Structure 1
Amino acid sequence: MATAAPAMIFENPANGQREAVSNRDGVRAFFGGPFYFAVKGEWVHAAIHAALTVIGLLLWPSGALMVIGAWFGYACATPTILESRFRRMGWQKIAG
């Protein structure tokens, strides 16, 4: 039986709210694209992701690799992006 991937858990010291960051967030980012980052409040990454996608689509068919690379790249980088976001906001890493 497969075990769940370990998640990093961050806690807001002001109110005790907890958020988990795992590799599953990368899968969600892959399927959600720029909208995933917009929902998470990462507006800069949402804009960059959307811009790369639009540029790649305008350069179709040669831009197809750029689109695929942007989507897979952002999916792989999502846990690191979210970890950085929580640290910038002053949240404490309590597990992972």
Structure 2
Amino acid sequence: MAAVPSGMVFENPTNGQREAVTNREILWAFLLGPVYFAKKAEWLHAAIHAALILISIPLWPTGVLMTLGVWVGYACAAPTILEYRYQKMGWEKVAG
């Protein structure tokens, strides 16, 4: 079995599936944006992120600052968003 990266590990009590939430989530959310949240099935955050980006782009040039703020803000919040999601689904925190 591969080593689990440092961070939080959540386990589904019904089937034993484990998911790790690490600081790498920040990198992936920054690189992929709303696509990352869609991949993680966090549809509400994917839609909000995409909507804010689409709203801010036409507001050139100040919209660029809003876009950058939304992009970086969502990237930094990704681990917290995922932690809340797993806890809300009833997964147990087994490490971290």
When normalised by structure 1's length, the TM-score is: 0.92
Residue 6 of structure 1: how far off its partner (Å): 2.6
Which runs of 4 or more aligned residues in structure 1 lie more than 2 Å from their structure 2 counterparts after TM superposition? none
SS at match of 1:58: coil
Instruction: Report the count of equivalent residues.
Output: 92
Q: Distance in 2 between matches of 1:72 and 1:84?
A: 19
User: What are the equivalent positions in structure 2 for 1:2-17 lying under 5 Å apart?
Assistant: 6-17=6-17
Amino acid at match of 2:17: Q
User: Which structure 1 segments of 5+ residues have no match?
Assistant: none
In structure 1, the residue matched to 2:77 is: 77
SS at match of 2:38: helix
In structure 2, the residue matched to 1:22 is: 22
Residue 44 of structure 1: how far off its partner (Å): 0.6
Q: Distance in 2 between matches of 1:37 and 1:79?
A: 11
SS at match of 2:70: helix
Amino acid at match of 1:27: L
In structure 2, the residue matched to 1:55 is: 55
Identity %, equivalent residues:
63
In structure 2, the residue matched to 1:89 is: 89
SS at match of 2:53: helix
